[in-house]
Chains A and B, each alone.
Chain A
Amino acid sequence: MSTHDLEDMGCGTSSSTKDRKSEKALKAALVIQNWYRGYSARLKARQRYALTIFQSIEYADEQGQLQLSNFFSFMLENYTQIHEKDPELVARLFGRTLQDSKDRQEYVSFVDVPDSYNGPRLQFPLTFTDIDLLVEAFKQQQILHAHYVLEVLFETKRVLKQMPNFTQVKTSPTKEITICDRGKHSMEILMILFVSFLVYPNDLHLNRGNHEDFMMNLRYGFTKEILHKYKLHGKKILQILEDVYTWLPIGTIIDNEILVIHGGISESTDLNLLHRIERHKMKSVLMPPISIDEDQDTDLKKTKTGANVVPREGKTNESPSEQLPKHEWEQVIDILWSDPRGKRGCYPNTSRGGGCYFGPDITSKILNKFQLKMLIRSHECKPEGYEICHDGKVVTVFSASNYYEEGSNRGAYIKLCCDMTPRFFQYQVTRATCLRPLYQRVNTMESSAIRILKERMLSRKTDLIRAFQLQDRSKSGKLSMGQWAFSMENTLGLNLPWRSLSPHLVTTDKNGNINYMSTFQDIHIQKPVKEAQSTLIETLYRYRSDLQIIFNVIDSDHSGLISMEEFRAMWKLFNSHYSIHIEDFQVDELAERMDLNKDGSIDFNEFLKAFYVVHKLEKLNKSDGQSP
C-alpha cells in the first residue's frame, strides 16, 4: 500500500473537520512509526556491531592460541639447548604424561565422603534418579563431592573407550554442543552431561569440541574453576578429565546420512581415515606432533609424515608413539576448528588460526564422496541460535544463549525426524533478560564490547601510535576518518566497522577529523610497580593470556607459584620466539619486585592480576540501561 497519497486514506465520513482531524492523526502516526522503525533498526545494528566485536576478538584470541602452539613447537625444537641449561624446566614442561598407572579403585577409595557432606550422593550404577538429584542439587548451588566426580569421570572414560570414533545412530533427537567453557558452572553442566550419558549411553551422544582440550581449559578458565571448587582433589580431577576428553568421539552419523561434528571440514577431510585413527592420542590442539630422532643431539626437525617420538626425561618404559602422526592430527584439527563460508574453495581459517574456511563446493564434494546429505555443526555463535547455509546442506546450531553478554544471542537446538527436515527450537535464558526492553539489552552488550575493544587497543598502544604518527605528517594529532580506520584495522588485525564504531572510541573535531590520541586519555593500565616502564607493562599486558597458559603449564603441581629461575628461563624463551624487544634485565627487575615476600617464588596470579585496566570515565559513562 502506497502511503504517500494521503487523500486515498480518507475514512469515508462526510464531515470535513473530521477528515482533517483523522488526516492529522494519520500523519502523526506515520511520523511516530517512521521514527520508531529508524530507531529500532539502529538498535539492532548496534547489537550486531557489538556481536561482531565479540566474535572478532574471540577468534583473534583463538588465533593467539595457535601462535602459542608454535611457541611450544619452537621450544620442543630447541629442546636440547633448553635441556642443557635447565633440565628442571623441561621436565616440568614436557613431562606431562598422566600417571595412569594409578588404579581407579585405588584412587577413588582414597577419597572419602564425610558424613557431614550435604551434597548429592550418587548411586552406581547410575539411574535417572541420579540425574534428577544432581539437577536439583545444582539448582541449590551445591557442589558435587570430588569422590563422585572422580567416579563419574572414571566410568565415563571406561564407556567412551569402547566407542568408535564416530557414533552411528538411527533417527532420534541428537544435540550437538560444545560441552563447556566460560561461565562459573561449567563443572556442574559437565557432570549432568556425563551422568546423563552414563544413564542413557545409547540415547545421548557426545562429540568432542575444540574446547574439550586441556590447554584451552587452561586459557579459558575451566581449569581455574575446578581448582577453586576442588582444592584437594582438583589436580586429579583435571588429570582424568584430560584423559576423558581424548576419548570423546569425533562425531556422530545419523541414519548414514547426516554428519554431526563440532567445527567443519576441509577439502582433504577423509572420513575413512578418521574412522581408523587412534583418537585418544589427540591431546591438545596446542601440542602439535613433533618428530624427534631419539639419538639426535643437534637441531631437530619436523617431518611431515611418520610416527613421532617425544623423548621424556627419565621415563624409559614409555611407548614411543604417544601422539598422532601429523597428517592425522591435521584432519582432527579441521573437524574441530573449521567454519563454513560463502566463498568457494578451502582457505586457512585466519581468524581462528587453525582449520579452514570451507565453501559450498567443498561441502558438496565431501558429502557426495562419503554418501552423506547434511552436515550439522556448532562452533560459531549465531544471533538466532542457528543458521542454515550452503544451500541447506550445512546447519550451525549454537545452544548457549547470551554467550558473550546478557542479551547477545538466543540459543537453539534441533529436532530431527525420519523425514530429515530439521525443526529448530529457540530460547533465551532468564526471563529477566527477555523482559528488559531492547535498548537496555543493547546498551549492556554495547558497553561490554566497547570495553574489551578499548582494552585491545590499549594492549597495542605503542604500535597504534606509531601507525597513526606515520600518517600524521604534520604532527597535528589528527587524522582523517579513512586514515584512522586504516591504521586501526591494519594494526589490530580486526575486521570491524571502524567508521560506525569511531564515536565510541575517539573524539572528532568539527571538521570530522579524528583526534587519535583521545582513546588513550581515559583508559590506562594500572602499573603493578611504579617504576616499571610503560612499554614493558604494555607488552606484558598484551601477552598476559599466553603467559598465563605457560605459567600454568610450568606450574605442574598447580600451586600458583613458579620459581624465579623458571620465570626467567621461560621469559627468555618467550622473548626470543615472539621477538619482543624488552631487555631481560627489565623483566628481571620487575619479577624481583613482584616477589613480595622475597622467597624466590612468584605468585603468578598476583602478577597477572596486577595488569588491571582502569577505565577512568567508567563511572561517568556507565550505562547499565538506565537513562543517564
Chain B
Amino acid sequence: MADDKEREELVVAEYHRKIKEAFEVFDHEANNTVDVREIGTIIRSLGCCPSEGELHDLIAEVEEEEPTGYIRYEKFLPVMTEVLLERRYRPIPEDTLLRAFEVLDSSKRGFLTREELIKYMTEEGEPFSQEEMEEMLSAAVDPESNSIHYKDYIAMMVVDES
C-alpha cells in the first residue's frame, strides 16, 4: 500500500513537471500566466484530444471568476493533473480515423474531393474555421488530382508525429 502511494506520488510529480514545461513555453512574460487562446494548444501538446466542447468546459474550470483573458498556472495545474491521471480525452487511434474518412467516402473511391471535404469539415460536427480548413487542405490535397487520398494522408501525418 505504501509502495503504491509512493509510486502514485512519483507519477504525479512527473506529470507536474511535464505540465509546467508545456505551460512555460507559452508563458511569454514569465509571470505564470498564458493567454486563454493558447490553452487548447497546451492541453493538446500534452497528448490529450478534447473536442471543442470539452475544451470549452475545461477552460471554464481554469478561468478566473471574472475572466481576464489569461489563465494562471496555479489553477491550471490541478485540473490538468486530474485530466492526465484519469487518462481523459485519449487520442483517436489511426484505424478509427481511417474508418471516419471511409464513412464520408460513401462510394468507396479511396479519396474525397476538395469540395466534399470542405463541405463536411465546415458544415458538420464542430465546424472548422476558414484558417483551419485552408491549413488542412494545404497538406492533404494532392495537387494533381485535386483530391484527398486519405489513406496516404493519414500515413504521412502519423509518421510525422512519431
Interface residues of A (CB under 8 A from B): 1-4, 24-42, 44-45, 48-49, 52, 340-343, 387, 389, 435-440, 443, 481-482, 485, 495, 497-500, 627-628
Contact = CB atoms under 8 A, between A and B. Distances in A.
Interface string B125-159: 11110001001101100000000000000011101
Given A49-B25, A499-B17, 4 more contacts: A29-B104, A31-B96, A45-B41, A341-B31
A341 B30 contact: yes
A499 B91 contact: no
Nearest to A440: B139
Nearest to A443: B160
A141 to B, nearest CB: 31
Contacts of B100: 27-29, 31-32, 35
Contact of A40 (B31, B120, B132, B155): B132
Contacts of A32: 97, 100-101, 104, 120-121
A35 B124 contact: no
Nearest to A32: B100
A144 B131 CA distance: 43
B2 interface: no
Contacts of A29: 100, 104, 120-121, 124-125
B41 A41 contact: yes
A496 to B, nearest CB: 8
B61 interface: no
A80 B121 CA distance: 76
Nearest to A40: B135
A37 B49 CA distance: 8
A500 B103 contact: no
Contacts of B139: 437-440
Contacts of B49: 34-35, 37-38
Nearest to B51: A34
Contacts of A4: 53
A79 to B, nearest CB: 40
B104 A3 contact: no
In the complex, the 8 A-B pairs of residues with the closest C-beta atoms, listed nearest first: A342-B31, A342-B29, A41-B44, A45-B45, A29-B125, A437-B139, A497-B21, A29-B124
A28 B97 CA distance: 8
B17 A45 contact: no
B11 to A, nearest CB: 11
Of B21, B24, B33, B101, which is in contact with the most chain A CB atoms at under 10 Å from its CB? B21
Contacts of A52: 25
B145 to A, nearest CB: 17
Contact of A33 (B26, B42, B121): B121
Contacts of B125: 3, 26-27, 29-30, 33
A39 B21 contact: no
Contacts of A42: 44-45, 161
Contact of A1 (B30, B44, B53): B53
Contacts of B1: none
B28 interface: yes
A436 B17 CA distance: 34
A392 B125 CA distance: 38
Interface in B1-34: 13-14, 17-18, 21-22, 24-26, 28-31, 33
A443 B159 CA distance: 12
B64 interface: no
B31 A497 contact: no
A48 B44 CA distance: 14
B97 A30 contact: no
Contacts of A443: 160
Contacts of B135: 40, 437-438
Nearest to A44: B41
Contacts of A36: 128, 132, 136
A32 B14 CA distance: 31
24 contacts: A3-B126, A4-B53, A25-B120, A29-B100, A32-B97, A33-B121, A33-B125, A35-B97, A36-B128, A37-B52, A38-B48, A40-B135, A49-B25, A341-B30, A437-B135, A438-B135, A438-B138, A439-B139, A497-B21, A497-B22, A498-B21, A499-B18, A627-B159, A627-B160
A52 to B, nearest CB: 6
Given A3-B52, A342-B33, A438-B139, A482 B17 contact: yes
B157 A39 contact: yes
Contacts of B22: 45, 497, 500
A190 B147 CA distance: 47
A31 B53 contact: no
Contacts of B30: 341-343
Contacts of A34: 49, 51, 92, 126
Contacts of B159: 627-628
B25 A30 contact: no
A497 B20 CA distance: 9
Interface string B28-64: 1111010000001111110011011100000000000
A515 B17 CA distance: 20
Of A3, A37, A437, A485, which is in contact with the most chain B CB atoms at under 10 Å from its CB? A37
A39 B14 contact: no
Nearest to B49: A38
Nearest to B133: A36
